[in-house]
């Protein structure tokens, strides 16, 4: 790793919080961001900050009855900029970040905590209707249309089967009005890919360790790459272009952070660059290199995927506590917001990304 010409991770703002943060997001098309989590009194809290001359000014604060675990702007129209959040009581709410007194949409999505959420169809990302996917401790994965109260799709554990926590969900393959899929990761290492067009399980595998996060490199294109982060310092990258009947998708495994890898986020302006956040308080920036040929053939002449390699561009430990959430700015390349369990909100500038 040559760090002299590599992207530099520069801390721009360091803000102490009065609550335990679990997620942070840039508000689309603005210089504002939100941080959300749980207070010492077990209440939910959502704070809106505005960038101002190297500092973050608190412009709004909203307290909620239950701790907030996760949020997304993915299903929000650009003009509304409403945030969908999942809380500790299993309730899915959609709030207007300007007027937060009453939810635009509220539904009891799960019986207990919503661990993960993702959205598509809003903020000019992905084709088709706006939809939200949630994954809960009850082992269920549900897809919601904000116009109706019942789930569009509910994927539940079979009766009598041990219930596994769903820790991560992500939309992908949204390259037309009909095509859309969901990836879900579970605490036992299972990864499942559901095709919403055919309403079927397209693929499932196991990565040996609990899945903390998964993300497609882009939601609005034909499935290309899927990064899965897990307990025990593991990152796995799947090439999603070619599915083999027996082998599934080609996979690359990488060790990182010497601790749980909590988060993975692809750079919106370049899908081959992604960042990971670790339990050691570290940030890693990677670049994916494609192989000369992405498809080979097996002994039966069936097509089989070929995975490339990843290059660690730079690494920095920024905290003594885990980095649990991060979000790249969709408007400014290299601008990053993240939260750590040391109750801090930080804004980083990652330089030289345009060179890769």
166 is a domain residue:
yes
Domains identified in the chain, total number? 1
pLDDT at 241 over 70: yes
Q: Does residue 4 lie in a domain region?
A: no
The strand pairing partners of 274, in sequence order, are: 266, 286
Residue with tokens 């081959």: 272
Q: Which residues, including other chains, have CB under 8 Å from residue 299's CB and lie 6 or more apart?
A: none
CA distance readout (Å), 348 to 47, 54, 183, 198: 19, 11, 29, 41
Residue 1 is assigned to a structural domain of this protein: no
Whether residue 276 is contained in a domain is answered as yes
Residue 2 within a domain: no
pLDDT of residue 354: 86
pLDDT tens per residue across span 100-138: 778 899 999 999 999 999 999 876 666 778 999 999 999
Domain contains 94:
yes
Inside any domain, residue 339: yes
Distance (Å, whole) CA 320 – CA 186: 26
Distance CA 336, CA 25 (A): 9
What is the residue range of 316's domain?
9-355
Domain-embedded: residue 286? yes
Would you say the pTM of this structure is higher than 0.75?
Answer: yes
Please report the pLDDT score of residue 2 as a whole number.
58
Q: Coil, helix or strand for 353?
A: helix
Give residue 127's pLDDT.
Answer: 74
End-to-end alpha-carbon separation of the chain, Å? 14
Predicted confidence (pLDDT) per residue in 274-326, tens digit: 999 999 999 999 999 999 998 888 888 888 899 999 999 999 999 999 999 99
CATH assignment at residue 77? 2.130.10.10
The label of the residue with tokens 């997620």 reads 23
């Amino acid at each position: 790793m040559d760090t002299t010409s590599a992207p530099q991770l520069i801390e721009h703002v360091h803000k102490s919080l009065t609550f335990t943060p679990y997620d942070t997001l840039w508000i689309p098309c603005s210089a504002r961001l939100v941080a959300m989590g749980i207070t010492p009194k077990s209440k939910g809290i959502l704070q809106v900050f505005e960038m101002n001359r190297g500092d973050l000014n608190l412009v709004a604060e909203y307290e909620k009855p239950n701790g907030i675990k996760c949020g997304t702007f993915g299903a929000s129209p650009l003009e509304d900029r409403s945030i969908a959040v999942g809380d500790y009581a299993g309730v899915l709410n959609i709030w207007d970040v300007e007027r937060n007194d009453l939810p635009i949409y509220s539904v009891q999505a799960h019986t207990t905590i919503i661990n993960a959420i993702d959205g598509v169809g809003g903020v000019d990302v992905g084709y088709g209707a706006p939809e939200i996917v949630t994954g809960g401790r009850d082992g269920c994965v549900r897809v919601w249309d904000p116009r109706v109260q019942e789930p569009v799709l509910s994927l539940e554990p079979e009766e009598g089967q041990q219930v596994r926590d769903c820790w991560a969900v992500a939309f992908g393959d949204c390259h037309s009005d009909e095509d859309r899929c969901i990836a879900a990761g579970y605490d036992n290492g299972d990864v499942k890919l559901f095709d919403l067009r055919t309403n079927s399980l397209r693929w499932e595998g196991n990565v040996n360790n609990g899945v903390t996060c998964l993300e497609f490199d882009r939601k609005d294109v034909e499935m290309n790459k899927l990064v899965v982060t897990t307990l025990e310092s593991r990152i796995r990258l799947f090439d999603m272009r070619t599915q083999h009947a027996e082998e599934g998708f080609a996979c690359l495994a990488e060790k990182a952070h010497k601790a749980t890898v909590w988060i993975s986020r692809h750079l919106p302006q370049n899908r081959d660059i992604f960042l990971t956040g670790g339990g050691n308080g570290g940030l890693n920036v990677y670049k994916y290199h494609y192989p000369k040929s992405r498809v080979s053939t097996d002994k039966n002449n069936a097509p089989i995927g070929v995975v490339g390699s990843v290059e660690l561009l730079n690494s920095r430990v920024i905290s003594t506590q885990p980095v649990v959430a991060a979000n790249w700015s969709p408007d400014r390349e290299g601008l990053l917001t993240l939260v750590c369990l040391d109750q801090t909100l930080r804004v980083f500038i990652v330089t030289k990304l345009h060179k890769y």
